[in-house]
Amino acid sequence: MSLSKIIEDYKPINEQEEKDKEFMLEMIQTFGDETLNRTCLACHFSASCWITNKEHNKVLMNWHNIYKNWGWLGGHNDGDANFLRVALKEAHEESGLENIKVLIDKPISIEILPVAYHIKNGKFVSSHVHMNLTYLFEANEEDQLRIKPDENSGLKWVSLDEAIEITNEEGMKPIYKKLNDVIKSL
């Protein structure tokens, strides 16, 4: 399936997603498949995951070393147009969880995420945006967690409400609420 088709097939659930979908399609039209790579400096795709426990009353959050904030797990596509595969890979790498169940195999959310300039692995990274697709996974909260030191320095299961409360990025609060609403609808 083409990159454009993946985005075109997504059904926005609110105005934010409608506008972000338009932006993504415009960037694909402008930059093509290059948007799947970090070499597209202004904007590129990423895939995130919202991992809930089996009771669907908690989610897994990680302390992100660059953002200095509790947040979801995810990462860059790095050329891979299979967003679900990218989200699963990132979930395994960033949490150490081995048994992750895909609850919904299509994105449950799309969003444009501004990324401030920062230093990563000793190199300057200019400000840009991530065009993000989010997937819903389930895992056993009793399974062993393992941080990925170059990405995060903490992992913890928190209640759905606490996930919104502990993020210090105001722009993420409505996104996490939207993701929690999907969990509550299961």
Helix or strand or coil: residue 67? coil
Q: Which residue range is the domain that position 118 belongs to?
A: 3-184
Report the chain's mean pLDDT, rounded to a whole number.
Answer: 96
Count of structural domains within the chain:
1
Neighbours of 131 (CB within 10 A): 24
pLDDT tens string 4-38: 999 999 999 999 999 999 999 999 999 999 999 99
Confidence of residue 66 (pLDDT cuts 50, 70, 90): confident
pLDDT tens string 151-173: 999 999 999 999 999 999 999 99
CATH of the domain at 128: 3.90.79.10
Rounded CA-CA distance 4/120 in Å is 30
Q: Tell me what the mean pLDDT of segment 80-95 comes to.
A: 98
Q: What is the pTM of this model?
A: 0.95
Helix or strand or coil: residue 8? helix
Question: Is residue 61's pLDDT more than 80?
Answer: yes
Alpha carbon 22 to chain centroid, angstroms: 19
